[in-house]
Homo-oligomer: A and B are copies of this chain.
Amino acid sequence: MSKLVIVGTVAFDAIETPFGKTDKILGGAATFIGLAASQFNVDASVVSIVGGDFPQEYLDLLANKNIDISGVEIVKEGKTFFWSGKYHNDMNSRDTLATELNVLADFNPVVPTNYRDSDIVMLGNLHPNVQLSVLEQMNTKPKLVILDTMNFWMDCALTELLNVISKVDVITINDEEARQLTGEYSLVVAARKIHGMGPKYVVIKKGEHGALLFHKDNVFFAPALPLEEVFDPTGAGDTFAGGFAGYLAKTEDVSFENMKNAVIYGSTLASFCVEKFGTERMTDLKSKEVHQRLQEFKNLTQFDIELT
C-alpha cells in the first residue's frame, strides 16, 4: 500500500444554507481530504496547523480514522483558521462572510520524516509557496503529485501558482477557475492549455454537473449523483480530491485507466459529503454504503451498445 501525504487546512467552519446554520464546526481542506482517503485504509498523514483553541476531540477524530496527525502543528497561543460562508438558494453560489487566517498566516509545513518518501502527495488548497515547500521536503520523487487550488491564488499569487503547477502531475480545479487560468471558455481547450503548463492530468470539477478527467487527447467524465437535495456543499471538492488520491494510493496504480475509477470514487464520496453539514456524513460513513452507491453510479452511467 502506498503512503499518502496531505497538506491543507484543518479549520473551523461556520456554515449557513437554506436548511439551517452551524456554529463553529470541524472543517478545512485537509480534513475533508483525509476523511475521504481514510475510506481506503491507506497510510495517510495530514500536514497542517491549528491553534490552542482546536478541540482535542477533532484531532482524535482524525487519528481514530488511522490518519497520522504528527504533522499537525499546534500553536498553543494561536487561533485556528476560521471560514464562514452562506450558500444561496441554488446551492451553487455562496458568499464568504468571514475569513480569519490566524495561525495559517505563518504556516511553515513540516512533513514528518517517515512520510518524506510518500508515493502520493496531495497538495490541498493553500498558498502556492506553502504547497511548494511540501514538495521540496520529499526525499524521493513521488509517483504522483496532485494539486488543488482556487481562483484566489490566481488573483493574488499567479507567478507562484504557475511555478507549483509546473511541478505537479495532476491538477484539480473547477470549471470557472480553469477558464480564469487559461482565458478559454471551452473546457477542452482550457485543459489542453493547462497540460502545457505542466500537469499531465487535468481534472475539472463542475459541481453538480460532475467532473472531467483529461489526459493527452483522452477524456473521461464522472457525473455527480443526482440528489434529491444538496444539504451543504462545503468540502465536496476536497472530498472528491481525497477519494481520488486515496483510491490511487490504495491501488498503487496511477495509470489513466485507473484514474477513471479514482474520479468515480471521488464523485461517489462527494455525493455523501453534501448530505449533511460539514464533515458529519463523512465521519460515520460505512464501506457498505460506499459500495452500494458505487452500484448506483454504475446504473447511472453504464450502457450496453454493441460496437463492432
Question: Chain A residues in contact with chain B, CB under 8 A?
Answer: 89-90, 185-189, 206, 209-210, 212, 218-221, 223, 226-230, 257, 260-261, 264-265, 291, 294-295, 298-305, 307
Contact = CB atoms under 8 A, between A and B. Distances in A.
Given A90-B185, A227-B186, A307 B301 contact: no
17 contacts: A90-B185, A186-B227, A186-B228, A186-B230, A188-B227, A189-B228, A189-B229, A219-B226, A219-B299, A219-B300, A220-B300, A221-B301, A257-B304, A260-B303, A295-B307, A298-B305, A301-B302
Contacts of A89: 185
Could you say which of A189, A229, A298, A305 has the most chain B C-beta atoms within 10 Å of its C-beta?
A: A305
Given A223-B221, A227-B188, A302 B302 contact: yes
A210 B223 contact: yes
A213 to B, nearest CB: 10
B188 A221 contact: no
B299 A218 contact: yes
A305 B301 contact: no
A260 B229 CA distance: 24
A264 B305 contact: yes
A268 to B, nearest CB: 9
A182 to B, nearest CB: 13
Contacts of A305: 261, 264-265, 294, 298
Nearest to A300: B221
B223 A303 contact: no
A301 B221 CA distance: 6
Contacts of A257: 304
Contacts of A220: 299-301, 303
Nearest to A291: B307
A221 B212 contact: no
Nearest to A206: B209
B226 A304 contact: no
Nearest to A228: B188
Could you say which of A206, A212, A307 has the most chain B C-beta atoms within 10 Å of its C-beta?
A: A307
A303 B187 contact: no
A305 B189 CA distance: 29
Given A90-B185, A261-B305, 20 more contacts: A89-B185, A186-B228, A186-B230, A188-B227, A188-B228, A189-B228, A206-B209, A218-B299, A219-B226, A221-B223, A221-B301, A257-B304, A261-B304, A264-B303, A264-B305, A294-B307, A298-B307, A301-B301, A301-B302, A302-B302
A176 to B, nearest CB: 12
Contacts of A265: 305
